[in-house]
C-alpha cells in the first residue's frame, strides 16, 4: 500500500494498482474508503471484531483512545459531567447543540408528560417470573412500546423527537416498575415535582410505609453516571442499534436490540461482573495473586472484569470521574464498602504487572460504577439497566443520524467462506 500525490492510498494487487480514497475526520482520524474494493479488485477485507473498520461517518462522539479523550458533540466529558443535567446532555446528543432555556423547558415538559406507561403495559409485569433478568424485561417492554405508540412503525423518521422523548422518559418507569414487581411491592408512579433522576430514584425506592428521601447528593451521583454512559461512538450495542435500524426497523425495536447487546458481560454487563468478581476475591480472603494469575493464564477463561478496552489504551476518562464520584458519595453517605478497597488494591497490583502494562489494560467505565450503585441501594442485577438508561440518548442520536443520512445502506457485511467445496448429493439409503 502506498500513497499518490493526492494522498490517496494505492493498493497494488497482482502487479495492478488500485486507487482508494483517503477520508479524514475533523480530529485528524484517517480512513481508507474501500466502498468499491470488491467490485474493482475482486478482493474484500477481513477484520474479525471490526478492530480496524469504521462503519460510518458520525458527528456525535469523539474518542481518542491513546490520550483518553471523550467528547459529546465537541464538549469535553469532564465539563458535561460536572456542569450539566443528564437530560441536557441527552438533548445535546440527539439535537447536536446544548438546549437554550425554551428548548430545555419544552423537553422537560414532554419528559414529564410521557413518564407514565400505558396501563395495559403494566399487566406485562404480572407475567414475568420473579427472577426474570431485568435486562430481558427492559428489552421486551421497550420493544412493546411500538405496539402502543404505532406512529413509529409507519415511518422511522416521523415523530422521531416525540418517540425519542417518550422513550427517554418511559425507560426510567419501566426499569423502576420491573424492580418493584420483582419485590412484590406496590408500583410508585412518577411525580411532577421531581426531576428526571429524582423521579427514577423515588419510583425505585419509595414505599407507602417508609417514604424515600430523595437526597440531592444521590440524585447528583445518578445524574453524573448517566451522563458518563450516554454515548461512546460505535461500540457493540450502538453498532447493533445502527445495524438493526439500517433495515428500516422502528426506533423502539432498534433500541431493544441494543439493550440485548449491552447485556453481554464483555460489554455493559461488565459492571455486574465486576461486583461478582470483587465479592469472589473478598470471599477468597482477598487472594489477589490468585485472580491476577487466573486473568493472565491463557488456559483460564477468567478475565479481570472492568479492565481493558477496545479503544482506550490508557485510563478510560469516565472511570477516573466515576472513581472520584465514588469516593465523594461514600464519604457523604458515610458508607465504607470493603469492595471499594479490594477494587483499589486490584487496580494497584494490575497496573504494576507487566502483563497488564504491555497490553495497555486499565480500569474502564465499569470498574467502579457498581460500587456507587451498591451505595445507592440499586440491586446488582440492575447495574446494566442503569448503563442502558444512560446510553439510551446516545443510541437514539446514532440511530437518528443514520436514518437522516441519505447515503445510508442496509448493513450487510460479507465473509470468507471456509466450508465444503461443491459435492454431489447422496440419498439417505446410500449414506
Which residue in 206, 231, 316, 366 is the catalytic one? 366
Q: Is 309 a catalytic residue?
A: yes
Using CB under 6 A, pick the residue from 165, 199, 364, 403 that binds ligand SDX. Answer: 364
User: Does residue 99 interact with ligand SDX by CB under 6 A?
Assistant: no
C-alpha of 154 from chain center: 27
Q: Is 11 in the site for ligand SDX (CB under 6 A)?
A: no
By beta-carbon proximity to ligand SDX, the closer residue of 173 and 271 is: 271
Reading the block at residue 278, the C-alpha cell is 470483587
Rounded to the nearest angstrom, the gap between the alpha carbon of residue 52 and the centroid of all alpha carbons in its chain is 20
Pick the binder of ligand SDX from 133, 134, 258, 306 (CB under 6 A): 306
Q: Looking at residues 23 to 52 of the shown chain, list those that interact with ligand SDX (rule: CB under 6 A).
A: 49
User: Minimum distance between the CB of residue 154 and ligand SDX, rounded to whole angstroms?
Assistant: 31
- The CA angle 250-254-257, to the nearest 5 degrees, is 150
**Any contact of residue 291 with ligand SDX (CB under 6 A)?**
no
Binder of ligand SDX out of 168, 366, 368, 397 (CB under 6 A): 366
Measured between alpha carbons, how far is 63 from 200 in angstroms, rounded to an integer?
29
By CB under 6 A, residue 295 contacts ligand SDX: yes
Q: Does 290 bind ligand SDX (CB under 6 A)?
A: no
Grid cell in block for residue 147: 405496539
CB of 298 to ligand SDX, least distance (A): 7
Q: Does 303 bind ligand SDX (CB under 6 A)?
A: yes
Q: Which residue is nearest to ligand SDX (CB)?
A: 308
Which grid cell is 259?
439493550
DSSP tag of 126 = G
Among 256, 305, 384, 402, binds ligand SDX (CB under 6 A): 305
| Subset of 324-363 contacting ligand SDX (CB under 6 A) | 359, 361
Judged by DSSP in three states, 10 sits in strand
Per CB under 6 A, the segment of 94-102, 135-143, 195-203, 302-310 that binds ligand SDX is: 302-310
Active-site pick, 47, 309, 353, 360: 309
Q: Is 127 a catalytic residue?
A: no
List Cα–Cα distances, 133 to 185, 263, 380, 404, in angstroms.
17, 10, 11, 34
Secondary element (H or E) of residue 30: strand 30-32
First to last CA, the chain: 50
How many residues bind to ligand SDX according to rule CB under 6 A? 22
By the rule CB under 6 A, 61 interacts with ligand SDX: no
The contact pattern for ligand SDX, residues 243-272, with x = CB under 6 A and - = no contact, is: -----------------------xxx-x--
CA-to-CA distance for 168 and 390, rounded, in angstroms? Answer: 9
DSSP3 helix / strand / coil % (the chain, rounded to 5): 55, 5, 40
Work out which of 242, 309, 374, 400 binds ligand SDX, going by CB under 6 A: 309
Measured distance CA(376)–CA(361) in Å, rounded? 28
Kindly state the smallest distance separating residue 284's Cβ from ligand SDX, in Å: 17
Cell of 86: 443528564
Beta sheet of 9-13, edge-to-edge order: 2-3, 9-13, 16-20
Selected binder of ligand SDX within 365, 371, 388, 396 (CB under 6 A): 365
233: left (phi over 0), alpha (psi -120 to 50) or beta: left
Using CA atoms, how far apart are residues 238 and 33, in angstroms rounded to an integer?
A: 21
Does 304 sit near ligand SDX (CB under 6 A)? Answer: yes
User: Which one of residues 139, 165, 235, 369 is an interface residue with ligand SDX (CB under 6 A)?
Assistant: 235
Residue 260 beta carbon to ligand SDX: minimum distance, rounded to whole angstroms: 14
Residue closer to ligand SDX, measured from CB, 200 or 383: 383
Cα angle, residue 196 at apex, residues 136 and 91 outer, rounded to 5° = 90
Residue from 71, 166, 170, 232 in contact with ligand SDX (CB under 6 A): 232
User: Kind and range of the H or E element at 82?
Assistant: helix 77-83
How far does Cα 399 stand from its chain's mean position? Answer: 13
Supply the minimum distance, in Å, between the C-beta of residue 137 and ligand SDX: 21
Strands (E), 118-208: none
Which SS3 state, helix, strand or coil, does residue 178 take?
A: helix
Q: Residue 364 Cβ, how far from ligand SDX at the closest point, in Å?
A: 4
List active site positions. Answer: 309, 366
Interface residues with ligand SDX (CB under 6 A) are 49, 232, 235, 266-268, 270, 295, 303-311, 359, 361, 364-366
Amino acid at each position: 500500500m502506498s500513497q499518490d500525490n493526492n494522498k490517496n492510498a494505492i493498493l497494488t494487487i497482482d502487479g495492478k494498482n488500485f486507487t482508494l480514497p483517503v477520508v479524514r475526520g475533523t480530529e485528524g482520524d484517517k480512513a481508507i474508503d474501500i466502498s468499491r474494493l470488491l467490485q474493482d479488485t475482486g478482493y474484500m477485507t477481513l477484520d474479525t471484531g471490526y478492530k480496524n473498520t469504521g462503519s460510518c461517518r458520525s458527528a456525535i462522539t469523539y474518542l481518542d483512545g491513546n490520550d483518553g479523550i471523550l467528547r459529546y458533540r465537541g464538549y469535553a466529558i469532564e465539563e458535561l459531567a460536572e456542569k450539566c443535567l443528564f437530560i441536557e446532555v441527552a438533548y445535546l446528543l440527539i439535537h447536536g447543540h446544548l438546549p437554550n432555556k425554551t428548548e430545555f423547558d419544552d423537553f422537560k415538559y414532554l419528559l414529564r408528560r410521557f413518564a407514565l406507561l400505558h396501563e395495559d403495559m403494566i399487566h406485562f409485569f404480572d407475567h414475568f417470573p420473579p427472577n426474570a433478568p431485568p435486562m430481558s424485561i427492559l428489552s421486551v417492554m421497550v420493544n412493546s412500546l411500538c405496539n402502543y405508540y404505532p406512529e413509529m412503525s409507519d415511518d422511522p423518521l416521523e415523530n422521531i423527537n416525540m418517540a425519542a422523548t417518550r422513550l427517554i422518559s418511559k425507560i426510567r418507569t419501566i426499569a423502576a416498575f420491573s424492580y418493584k414487581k420483582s419485590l412484590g411491592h406496590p408500583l410508585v408512579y412518577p411525580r411532577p415535582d421531581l426531576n428526571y433522576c429524582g423521579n427514577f430514584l423515588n419510583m425505585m425506592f419509595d414505599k407507602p410505609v417508609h417514604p424515600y428521601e430523595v437526597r440531592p447528593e444521590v440524585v447528583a451521583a445518578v445524574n453524573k453516571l448517566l451522563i458518563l454512559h450516554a454515548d461512546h461512538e460505535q461500540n457493540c450495542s450502538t453498532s447493533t442499534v445502527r445495524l438493526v435500524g439500517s433495515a428500516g426497523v422502528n426506533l423502539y425495536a432498534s433500541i431493544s436490540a441494543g439493550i440485548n447487546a449491552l447485556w453481554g458481560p464483555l460489554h455493559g454487563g461488565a459492571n455486574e461482573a465486576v461486583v461478582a468478581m470483587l465479592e469472589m476475591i473478598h470471599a477468597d480472603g482477598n487472594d489477589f495473586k490468585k485472580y491476577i494469575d487466573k486473568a493472565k493464564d491463557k488456559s483460564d477463561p477468567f478475565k479481570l472484569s472492568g479492565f481493558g478496552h477496545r479503544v482506550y489504551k490508557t485510563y478510560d476518562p469516565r472511570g477516573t470521574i466515576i472513581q472520584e464520584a465514588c469516593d465523594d458519595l461514600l464519604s457523604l453517605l458515610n458508607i465504607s464498602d470493603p469492595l471499594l478497597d479490594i477494587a483499589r488494591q486490584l487496580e494497584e497490583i494490575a497496573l504494576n504487572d507487566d502483563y497488564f502494562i504491555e497490553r495497555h489494560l486499565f480500569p474502564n467505565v465499569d470498574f467502579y460504577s457498581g460500587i456507587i450503585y451498591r451505595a445507592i441501594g440499586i440491586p446488582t442485577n440492575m447495574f446494566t439497566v442503569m448503563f442502558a438508561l444512560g446510553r439510551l440518548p446516545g443510541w437514539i442520536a446514532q440511530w437518528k443520524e443514520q436514518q437522516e443520512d441519505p447515503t445510508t445502506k442496509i448493513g450487510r457485511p460479507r465473509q470468507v467462506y471456509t466450508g465444503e467445496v461443491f459435492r454431489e448429493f447422496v440419498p439417505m439409503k446410500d449414506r
